[in-house]
C-alpha cells in the first residue's frame, strides 16, 4: 500500500498540487492505514462499519470538523485514484457525509486599534501607500483579498 501512496504523491506533484496539500494527503492516508493495521483489516475489508469506526477514531484523536473533512476528502480521492488503477472495485468512503463546518467570524480590530493605525503619520512613499491601503480597508469594509485586487481604474 505504501507503493500506492507514493504513486499518488507523484501524481499530485505532476498535477501541480501544493506541497501542503500533498503533505496533508500523505498524513491522512497514513492515518487511515495505521487505523486499518490496528484493527487487523486490509483495504478490501473496509465497509460501512469500518468507516464509522474510523470517523470515531478521528474524533477521539481530538480532530475538529475541518480536519475530519480534510481526512475524508483525502481518503475519498485516494480511493478514486486506486479505482482508476483497478486496485479496488468500489470506494467505501464515497457515501460518507462530511460533518458541518463551524462558521467562524473574522477577527476585527477594536476602535482604539483603528484610531492608532489611522493616526500614523507617513514619511516615505511606502508608508503613504500603506496608510492609503489601510484607509481603503477601513472606509470600504473590504477584506485584504478584495483590496489587493482593486485597480486604479476602479475609481471614478
**Dihedral angle over CA of 4, 7, 8, 13, nearest 10:** 160
pLDDT tens digits along 94-130: 888 877 777 777 788 888 998 998 898 999 999 999 9
118: left (phi > 0), else alpha (psi -120 to 50), else beta? alpha
Q: Which of these, 62, 77, 64, lies nearest to 25 by C-alpha position? A: 77
**5 neighbors 30 (Cβ within 8 angstroms):** yes
- pLDDT tens for the chain, 156 residues long, are 577 778 878 888 888 888 999 999 999 999 999 999 999 998 888 999 999 999 999 999 999 888 999 999 999 998 998 898 888 888 999 888 877 777 777 788 888 998 998 898 999 999 999 999 999 888 888 888 888 888 888 777
**45 neighbors 37 (Cβ within 8 angstroms):** no
Map out the domains of the chain with their CATH numbers.
2-84 (1.10.150.130), 111-154 (no CATH)
Distances (CA, A) of 133 to 115, 122, 139, 140: 15, 12, 10, 11
Task: Identify the three-state secondary structure at position 135.
Answer: helix
pTM of the model: 0.63
Q: Which of these, 49, 54, 96, 57, lies nearest to 77 by C-alpha position? A: 96
**23 neighbors 17 (Cβ within 8 angstroms):** no
Amino acid at each position: 500500500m505504501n507503493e500506492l501512496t507514493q504513486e499518488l504523491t507523484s501524481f499530485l506533484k505532476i498535477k501541480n498540487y501544493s506541497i501542503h496539500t500533498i503533505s496533508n494527503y500523505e498524513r491522512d492516508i497514513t492515518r487511515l492505514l495505521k487505523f486499518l493495521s490496528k484493527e487487523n483489516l486490509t483495504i478490501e475489508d473496509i465497509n460501512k462499519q469500518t468507516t464509522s469506526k474510523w470517523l470515531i477514531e478521528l474524533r477521539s484523536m481530538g480532530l475538529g470538523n475541518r480536519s475530519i473533512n480534510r481526512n475524508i476528502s483525502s481518503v475519498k480521492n485516494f480511493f478514486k485514484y486506486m479505482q482508476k488503477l483497478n486496485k479496488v472495485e468500489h470506494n467505501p468512503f464515497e457515501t460518507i457525509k462530511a460533518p458541518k463546518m463551524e462558521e467562524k467570524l473574522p477577527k476585527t480590530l477594536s476602535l482604539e486599534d483603528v484610531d492608532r493605525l489611522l493616526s500614523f503619520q507617513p514619511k516615505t512613499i511606502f508608508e503613504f501607500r500603506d496608510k492609503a491601503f489601510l484607509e481603503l480597508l477601513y472606509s470600504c469594509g473590504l477584506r485584504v483579498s478584495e483590496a489587493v485586487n482593486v485597480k486604479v481604474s476602479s475609481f471614478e
